[in-house]
A and B are shown apart, each in its own frame.
Chain A
Amino acid sequence: MMVGADDAGRDEQARIAQQFIGAIPHARALGMQVEDIGAGKATISMPWAPHLVGDPRRNVIHGGVVSALMDTCCGAAVMAHPERPRSTATIDLRIDYMRAANPGQGITARAECYHITRSVAFLRAVAMDEDGEGPVASATGTFTVER
């Protein structure tokens, strides 16, 4: 993802990142929207949709969808790091599911690249629903750094 140009403003970065994410078929299929990006952090949201439901009795988004959002958001945060990696790939990702999302609500993930070495980026992320009463899920992960 070509984001993080030194003179580009935060809005400009978000626009470029959105364009990049819009070119990813699966991110588009899930309706992912870049809310904010820059300085090794990213916020991406996703609306509720009937085909993303995991438990029809409760109308709650499937955990796997939260994984997909967390993974994309972490990848975007790596790409937005000031060291500007050429590309990145997930090495591992751990997700803790704290509570079920509220029925019919979209999810917003916020990821932060809190440490980076020559070849590895370390990430933390949380996912909230619309009420925001504490996170729905949290994640930690490591990503490759291609220079």
Chain B
Amino acid sequence: MLIQIVLIAVLLGALYVTWRRARQNVITLSEALLWSVLWIAAGVVIALPQTATLVANFFGVGRGSDFVIYASVVTLFVLVFKIFVAMEGLERKLTEMVRRDALRDLPKKEDAG
């Protein structure tokens, strides 16, 4: 099937780039391994869709493709939440900078009588 060939080609490309970057010391070895596992797992699911069904059945979900969708939703939710938390962190840093700027003309606590 065409889609399987295209997707696997893309994944092989990703795998190649991952290890190229690892050799260039852009990412660490453990990061490269983690990404490789992800790419290979995706490749296995694409080449042999019934493996997804096996995993799905283990989690009590009927169909492999359903399981992939559920897992994606959960993953996306976690990622979006992480972005929210990161934004909140940035907002607080921004406030801290705005505050420092607003207070710059006042004497420091030690100097005040």
Are these two chains actual partners, yes or no?
Answer: no
Binding site for B on A (CB under 8 A): none
